[in-house]
Structure 1
């Protein structure tokens, strides 16, 4: 607004407006809102009005700034506007800049903003009483529950994640089987957070692989900062103290400690957990294992299982998960149709191609390579000698004999142990040079740590980082931090054993499978460390396969073993199937027949150690 000088106002004859001070309120009404920690869901915040003087020293208003929630000042409004007396009947005081000017063309009507979709909490099938059903029916949408001022979310979840949170909230027995990279961890944390806020649960036990404990602590700090968390670790007396700690509602332990401390937490006077969560729940796929028995024997009121691969070899592994959930009796036998019906009740599975239309694509390419002359000579010699030895064994041949030959041939495909020649390394070096010059990041997976160490020496020019089981747990986070933030480290060498689960590496745009794992699900898990929520660019996945070798034969067998996963879970896409090789498949690689007792026995690969 333009203010006229006094001389100009006198010449124009327009008197300035006079403000009647008696018409002004001499105090300001301030509204203070507050709500209790446990009341964010059940009632609106309370409101108090405090008059504050406009003249004189201001009073201090009560303030509270928690360390887990930002407090925002939205605005201040005066109850009354100043009243200006009329400058005269013949003169009208105007401010030209504030007078609305007529428009020469009509403005289009404002379009109503589309209302966001609301996710209602469904009534679980086991809620039979009217009271239980009304409890879920009268709950507000999950978006409303998670948008309260005390439930701060680091970022807005996707609609399918809201659905997953609402589904877990209402389920006493649940298997969240989303494809890797869709945020199973976040959904589980948000659901247990709401359950705690509503008073339905007070104690949670989370079981996960040991390398993932740090990741879970970090995610709990991010998504539920107000919930105290303790990791069970240390000697026996310290672990007992941590197990009995009353002011830590969420306890995190690994599967090995669960078995070791079962007698301690399985005592009659030890209270039952309100919620037991198994992350990477495929660890209990063997119903006769000590891990499975320990998990099923724990006293709890709710059971959740998280895994992207509920079936790795046979339908019986899926049955083991259903037994943990209490969906079927122990050691029950069910057919495919029964499993499919049970999956519709207890399993929630989404794939990236269905729910993340905007996620950058994953581009797969199989690089068929020709062995170098030295590799070819070593491979042909090893294969011929191995087949002769298997023939000499006759009826005494076992799966272990055949497996040793397969491993030997796979190692030669990686590099010739005598000369160090490698068709894969020649191709990899050219790829890494281009990635490094463009400022990209690449992850490489291999089955053997010795192969990773060999590659580390060959690629020293690019300063690769190594992440495998021989690296102490205390140093692993530092390796990942350096890989993410150091522009001079374009390559991370990882073993399938420790790099295929629970890590977030979505800043990498290239993934190399230097050698193939026995189970395509493990390969998918490894790839999805990079191709997941948060990835901004397409992910190029390169699988090295040596032509006319055991690698090409294994690849063809794995391509034929994806239908059972689809039959049980009803997936329209079979690219994420998780069926590994069994003994019959391994024998078939050399046109041999497995013994009657070995035909369907699962192949157990050696640890990702020395080759």
Structure 2
């Protein structure tokens, strides 16, 4: 029957008994007549149609309706049936007397009972009825008792047995419920219906404790099972309910709680699921030191009885068996006092939940060392669990480290105190380097090395030498400074060494008499700095920008060595292409220097010859071939030009160079880092061996944290270590006399045929790469991404680069040729750079067709210097085509005042080097740089990412490879969109 919402109606709740699920409620709306009486017109109400009747429902009605929906048989079937079946089949099978699923029955029963308890609490002010047998929902009204009843459990111990029964009181009066047709309509907790009134209880009584007594006066417990029954049933009952006893004693006892903090070692899998302190990164770092954790358990001693904090009960009961009977000690816990102790732990950053806390081992012992004394003063007993496999030391730990300067090194001494034991600091070396935080004391106890020592002293141990005594080389001055500034060591050093703290104290050095020419102020400062590192017997890295005159500063220093008694020749190693440039510069500025050009197939392999010269010029290739011969000579200086050539420490070239012997070492480079932080390690280890530790240490402590985790602290630390040995000046800082450099970006529109080729390739790679990203992650996509980006860049230049059959034109080629013609027509000279030799070939062919003269240089060009000289001196040649890789270093092309960069890529430093071929000392004209970008292509996206994402070369990392690795899915999506 439909209930009309336009007329008065009432929501009511009706109790009925289900064959399997027990007592349940159903919700109804009932039409009300003009006298305000309920009629027989009613309909079921559920969450599906409740909104229709919202006008007469309150918030608790909506909660009730939702809960009641959840306990109906269809809802139970839907939740618990593993396959589709009818309600009849499901309940018959599940509740079969012999084959029924007892576990599932219990699960369903708990599910229903918990919801029935919530429903009954919400029904206190609602109209509630018992449903008639014909389904009439308003058959008989029942009421929820406004107050809660109490239960008293009685135990009467006789000579032969114990009688057990409950009594119930309501509003101070005994409630007679036995043999009165009472029913427990909910068990979790108990709700008792008696004479149309439903009673709840003050203490959440389990209905199973009352059920046997609805039709029974008492239960008899035989003497034979008495002790077990008292221990397992009576003792727990005493903790939660009121009990009256005859024949045995119940003693109420009160004590002041004494806190016990017990710690034990557990594996990660054994540890409770508790929130660990610190960030995920910090936890990962701590986890590297130990895969075990420390579990803290808080408990309280009351008299002779220990109570675990996680026990929620306020009363703890223990049973004592006497000669003739039993005594139950009913311990009243002082919860307020316990909470005060808990607050003290939380105040000290030990987050105890449910009586337990878990910390990483190193953090746990650091916490104990910092707080043990305070805790003991507060009354805590801190102890180890008997389960611990190791006996841990938990006393005071302290460390004193001293560093003293000697002739060419620092002596390091230190003492560690673990309570009564004193240990030399050097004994911790292997522990710190291997990140083993357990140190065995003479008495067999295990001390945990404080976690911060692994960070604070790992470089000290990694860089130091000696097994019995620790020494550091002088070039580790920055590390010594750090330790002193952080109050981690007491340092004693001479006033002379203090100069290393800043370059402003570098003494001015006179130029050698045989130096022909003048040094600009910043070049003179560089010359002074070369003397500074030489005087301290340090290796140096002169890393000035391209074009600032590293060659001339070095030649001045070598001339000074000649005039001040250098006993042997110096070796200058460089790419073959730069040999001629060094010869020219030396002839110009230091004509007195005797120079041997030790290159070519017919070089005389005789180191005795070297004694007749001041400088030996050679290439990296020759050093690699003649390493065995060259290492037999003790050079005055070994100088590496474009030292990034040894950036791979495992290459034969690097090994060969490092095997040579000399009094001093120097490297020259405009780009100390090209591909990876390891480039820096390789070069710095050449000039100052051991400065950055061994390769394995450097990879773990610097390369990974800096490149993968973007760890700023590690970056700063690395900067501090290398800073005294690198002199780097930018043109913008020092070469004020250089003319202006003006940069333009020229956007080129693709031709229709070019756009079609580009879109087709983009779609192919986009689908392929994004699918691979989803399935295999970024690590396995890098090669495919690089391949796809390269093809798209080539098509953005000219589709001919990827498709030899392409017959259309290129928008970029048109623009490059138009601007080249314009620049040449006005009498200017232009350098045209491309990363792709194929692209240069296309430009070359176009220039030939237009009869524009040019010089050309790529990696295969033999007469490199001849090409440079022709461009510099021949006025009829106004264009120089250069591959970026072959022409990025060592060229002086100041005749040009225009530079065209035809294809952008990640590393702006590479493009800057190309521009520096023209914008360098000797240039008198404004240099105009044009970067050609094809619109609506990956080139535009690269340009945007360059500006947003890439650090400049002044930072440690500025590389193509690392940028490709660090691209996110979103970045890749944008590049290919």
Between the aligned partners of 2:825 and 2:541, the Cα distance in structure 1 is: 44
Shift of 1:559: 2.5
1:232 equivalent to 2:598? Answer yes
User: 1:414 and 1:238, CA in 2 relative to 1: closer, same or farther beyond 3 A?
Assistant: same
Cα distance, 1:132 vs. partner?
Answer: 11
CA distance in 2, matches of 1:471, 1:229: 26
Aligned partner of residue 605 in structure 2, secondary structure: helix
C-alpha distance 480-374 of structure 1, shift in aligned 2 (>3 A)? same
State the secondary structure of the residue aligned to 2:931. strand
Query: Which residue in the other structure is 1:465 paired with?
Result: 855
Say if 2:556 is the partner of 1:174. Answer: no
1:590 pairs with 2:968: no
Say whether residues 1:579 and 2:959 are aligned partners. Answer: yes
Alignment of 1:122-521 (within 5 A): 141-142=508-509, 144-146=510-512, 148=513, 151-153=514-516, 155-172=517-534, 173-200=539-566, 202-235=568-601, 238-241=603-606, 244-266=609-631, 270-326=632-688, 327-331=691-695, 332-333=697-698, 334=702, 335-390=714-769, 395=776, 397-417=780-800, 418-460=806-848, 461-472=851-862, 475-521=863-909
CA contact (8 A) 2:507 2:528 kept: no
Moved >6 Å (runs of 4+): 123-126, 128-134
Higher RCO structure, 1 or 2 (CA under 8 Å, sep 6+): 1
SS of alignment partner, residue 205 of structure 1: strand
Provide the rounded CA distance (Å) in 2 between the counterparts of 1:131 and 1:564. Answer: 35
Cα shift at 1:217: 1.5
Cα offset for 1:430? Answer: 1.9
Contact 1:506 1:529 in 2 (8 A): yes
Structure 1 residue 508: Cα displacement? 0.8
Q: CA 1:415–1:223 in structure 2 vs 1: closer, same or farther (change >3 Å)? A: same
Tell me the alpha carbon deviations over residues 561-588 of structure 1, each in whole angstroms, 9 at most, x when there is no partner.
Answer: 44374455xxxxxxxx843343324675
Distance across 1 between alignment mates of 2:935 and 2:549: 37
Deviation string, structure 1 residues 187-239 (Cα, Å, up to 9, x no partner): 1111111122111453211111111111112112222111111222234x845
SS in 2 for 1:548: coil
**Partners of 1:464 and 1:420 in 2: how far apart?**
25
Structure 1 residues 253-302: Cα deviation after superposition (integer angstroms, max 9, x where no partner) = 21122222222223xxx122111111111122222222222222221221
Contact 1:519 1:581 (8 Å CA) reproduced: no
Kept in 2, the 8 Å contact 1:169–1:192? The answer is: no
Distance 1:497 1:565, change over 3 A: closer
Distance in 1 of aligned mates of 2:794 and 2:497: 59
2:942 corresponds in structure 1 to: 554
SS at match of 1:206: strand
DSSP-derived class of the 2:587 partner: helix
1:140 and 1:558 map into 2 onto residues whose CA distance is 41
Q: 1:282 to 1:131 in 2, by over 3 A?
A: closer
1:403–1:521 distance in 2 versus 1, CA, 3 Å: same
Deviates more, 1:436-445 or 1:329-338: 329-338
Q: Deviations over 1:507-536 (max 9, x none)?
A: 210000011244222211111010011111
Equivalents in 1 of 2:620, 2:931: separation in Å? 32
Hey, what's the Cα distance between the residues in 2 that align with 1:563 and 1:131? 36
1:10-40 deviations in Å (ceiling 9; x for gaps): xxxxxxxxxxxxxxxxxxxxxxxxxxxxxxx
- Give distance in 2, aligned partners of 1:403 and 1:131: 52
1:373-422 per-residue CA deviation (whole Å, 9 max, x = no partner) reads: 11101100111123344467653954322222211111111112212512
Give distance in 2, aligned partners of 1:388 and 1:539. 43
Residues 286 and 558 of structure 1, relative CA distance in 2, 3 Å threshold? farther
- Which range moved further: 542-551 or 394-403? 394-403
Supply the distance in 1 between the matched residues of 2:610 and 2:886 (Cα, whole angstroms). Answer: 30
Counterparts of 1:339 and 1:564, CA distance in 2: 17
| Native 8 Å contact 2:899 2:928 kept in 1 | yes
> 2:567 and 2:715 mapped to 1: Cα distance?
34
Secondary structure at 1:413's aligned position in 2? helix
Structure 1 partner of 2:152: none
Give, in whole Å, the separation in 2 of the partners of 1:549 and 1:279.
38
Cα distance per residue 1:480-508 (max 9 Å; x no partner): 22212222211100001211100101121
- Structure 1: stretches of 5+ with no match in the other structure: 1-122, 569-576, 594-611
Cα distance change of structure 1 residues 587 and 410 upon mapping to structure 2, 3 Å threshold: farther
Tell me if structure 2 keeps the 8 A contact 1:464–1:491.
Answer: yes
CA contact (8 A) 2:769 2:781 kept: no
Measure how far apart 1:592 and its partner are: 10
Write the deviation string for residues 310-355 of structure 1: whole angstroms up to 9, x where unpaired. 1224433223222112133332434222222233311111111111
Partner Cα separation in structure 2 for residue 214 and residue 476 of structure 1: 10
In 1, are the aligned partners of 2:555 and 2:589 still within 8 Å (CA)? yes
SS in 1 for 2:972: coil
- Asked if the contact 1:360–1:535 (Cα under 8 Å) also holds between the matched residues in 2, the reply is yes
Contact 1:304/1:325 (<8 A) preserved: yes
> Tell me, what secondary structure is at the counterpart of 1:301?
strand
- In structure 2, the residue matched to 1:522 is 910
Q: Distance in 2 between matches of 1:133 and 1:544?
A: 51
Q: Residues 344, 435 of structure 1: CA spacing in aligned structure 2 closer, same or farther, 3 A cutoff? A: same
Structure number with greater Rg is: 2
Q: Secondary structure of the residue that 1:233 maps to in structure 2?
A: coil
CA distance in 2, matches of 1:218, 1:425: 37
The answer to whether the 8 Å contact 2:511/2:556 transfers is: no
Counting strand residues as a fraction of each chain, which structure ranks higher?
A: 2
CA change 1:524–1:131 in 2 (3 A) is closer
Q: Deviations over 1:50-102 (max 9, x none)?
A: xxxxxxxxxxxxxxxxxxxxxxxxxxxxxxxxxxxxxxxxxxxxxxxxxxxxx
**Equivalents in 2 of 1:563, 1:347: separation in Å?**
19
Q: Does 2:915 align with 1:534?
A: no
Cα distance in 1 for residues equivalent to 2:974 and 2:646: 32
**Cα pair distance change 1:586/1:258, threshold 3 Å:** farther
Q: How many residues align?
A: 449
Structure 2 unpaired stretches of 5+: 1-473, 478-492, 500-505, 703-713, 801-805
